[in-house]
Structure 1
């Protein structure tokens, strides 16, 4: 009787685990996007490199990094959603940071860009 019960339990586990399928998300925003700039301090003539990086994943989540001279000065998770080609990025871990609204602009063959609705560059696809 124990063998029959064990067999039925294993069979039930297999059947239940095969029923849940995760939909594949092939959204074009998935990947790494970044924006880097360099500033020179006028008094010390020191060069400072600032970089912002967004890593979008297929579960409508991601990770945001703010780097200065290659060192992470801030990082947080974010959520993203897409409606009619407009992406909204929310930062639940940073209540002071406003949501970003962006669109993908294909600037082929040079690059693919994320721009805000007014056309300002937010990030480039890496």
Structure 2
């Protein structure tokens, strides 16, 4: 009887594992997006500010903000897509959500907010 239960358990595990396929997400937003700004400072010279969004295929990502070489913000985010509009939310922070769409420009593919401001450039 133990052999029969063991055989049925193995068959059940194999059949369940074959049925649970995760659909592949090929959304074009997946990848690394960044925005770099430069500021002149009389004390330190030229200062670099960099923001970076790393989108993955399970509707999550990681946001980094750098002041020069110093990491100032590191947080996770979630994203959704509805009719070409992407909503980027930062749960657990006071950062506002972004609503952006993808556009092609002379610089490459960019994320543009609803006011027409460029949020980030695809790397």
Point out where structure 1 has 5 or more consecutive residues left out of the alignment.
Answer: none
Large movers: runs of 4+ above 6 Å: none
Give the corresponding residue for 2:6: 6
Alignment of 1:50-61 (within 5 A): 50-61=49-60
Alignment of 1:1-126 (within 5 A): 1-42=1-42, 44-94=43-93, 96-107=94-105, 110-126=107-123
Say what the alpha-carbon RMSD is for the aligned residues. Answer: 1.4
Point out where structure 2 has 5 or more consecutive residues left out of the alignment.
Answer: none
- SS where residue 104 of structure 2 aligns? strand
Q: State the TM-score, normalizing by the size of structure 2.
A: 0.92
Deviates more, 1:99-108 or 1:57-66: 99-108
Cα distance in 2 for residues equivalent to 1:60 and 1:54: 12
Give the total of aligned pairs: 123
Deviation digits for residues 10-68 of structure 1 (CA, Å, limit 9, x no counterpart):
111011111111111111111100001111213x1432211000011111111100111
